[in-house]
Structure 1
Amino acid sequence: MIQKIDLSVGPIAYYQEIKNPELPTLVFLHDSLGCITLWRDFPSLLATRTQCNILVYDRQGYGQSCDFSYSKREKDYLELEADLLQELLEKLNIKHPILFGHSDGGSIALLAAAKYPATIKAIITEGAHLFVEEITIKGIQDALEAYQNNDLKRKLEKYHGAKTESMFKAWTETWLDASFRDWNIEEFIPKIQCPILVLQGEYDEFGTEEQIKSILKNTLAKALIVPNAKHTPHKEQPDFILEQTAQFIEQLHKH
Structure 2
Amino acid sequence: MPTPNEAPVTETEWSIRTAKGTLYAKSWVPEADLAAPIILFHDSLGSVDLWRGFPQRLASETNRRVIAYDRLGFGRSDAHPEQLALNFVATEARDSIPPLCEQLGVTEFVACGHSVGGGMAVETAAHFPERCRALITIAAQAFVEERTLAGIRDAKRDFQDPANVARLARYHGEKARWVLDAWTETWLSPGFADWTLDRALAMVRCPVLSLHGDRDEYGSSAHPERIAAGRGIARLLPDTGHVPHREQEALVLDAIRSFLDGL
TM-score by length of 1: 0.94
Q: Aligned partners of 1:245, 1:95: CA distance in 2, in Å?
A: 21
Q: Does 1:247 align with 2:230?
A: no
What is the number of residues matched between the two proteins? Answer: 250
What is the Cα deviation at residue 151 of structure 1? 3.1
What is the Cα deviation at residue 41 of structure 1? 0.7
Matching residue within 235, 239, 242 for 1:228: 239
Matching residue within 118, 133, 144 for 1:132: 144
Would the aligned equivalents of 1:86 and 1:112 in 2 still touch at CA under 8 Å?
A: no
Q: Aligned partners of 2:226, 2:116: CA distance in 1, in Å?
A: 16
Q: Structure 1: which amino acid aligns with 2:142? A: L
Q: Aligned partners of 1:25, 1:117: CA distance in 2, in Å?
A: 15
What is the Cα deviation at residue 173 of structure 1? 0.7
**Matches of residues 50-199 of structure 1 in structure 2 within 5 Å?**
50-70=62-82, 72-83=83-94, 84-149=96-161, 151-199=163-211
Q: Aligned partners of 1:42, 1:170: CA distance in 2, in Å?
A: 25
Q: Aligned partners of 1:161, 1:147: CA distance in 2, in Å?
A: 16
Indicate how the Cα distance of structure 1 residues 61 and 53 shifts in structure 2: closer, same or farther if over 3 A, else same: same
Match of 1:37 in 2: 49
Runs of 4+ in 1 over 6 A off after TM superposition: none
What is the Cα deviation at residue 185 of structure 1? 2.2
Q: Aligned partners of 2:199, 2:33: CA distance in 1, in Å?
A: 35
**Sequence identity percentage:** 33
What CA deviation, in whole Å up to 9, does each residue of 1:27-54 have, x standing for no partner? 1110000000110111111111111112
Would the aligned equivalents of 1:60 and 1:68 in 2 still touch at CA under 8 Å?
A: yes
Residue aligned with 2:129, SS: coil
Q: Aligned partners of 1:87, 1:115: CA distance in 2, in Å?
A: 14
Residue aligned with 2:202, SS: helix
Q: Structure 2: which amino acid aligns with 1:89? A: C
Q: Aligned partners of 2:206, 2:103: CA distance in 1, in Å?
A: 22
Would the aligned equivalents of 1:30 and 1:103 in 2 still touch at CA under 8 Å?
A: yes
Matching residue within 218, 243, 248 for 1:237: 248
Residue aligned with 1:99, SS: strand
Would the aligned equivalents of 1:61 and 1:68 in 2 still touch at CA under 8 Å?
A: yes
- The answer for unaligned runs of 5 or more in structure 1 is none
Structure with higher helix content = 1
- The answer for unaligned runs of 5 or more in structure 2 is 1-11
Over the aligned positions, Cα root-mean-square deviation in angstroms equals: 1.4
Would the aligned equivalents of 2:208 and 2:228 in 1 still touch at CA under 8 Å?
A: no
What is the Cα deviation at residue 153 of structure 1? 1.0
What is the Cα deviation at residue 21 of structure 1? 5.0
What is the Cα deviation at residue 147 of structure 1? 0.8
What is the Cα deviation at residue 213 of structure 1? 2.3
Q: Structure 2: which amino acid aligns with 1:243? A: D
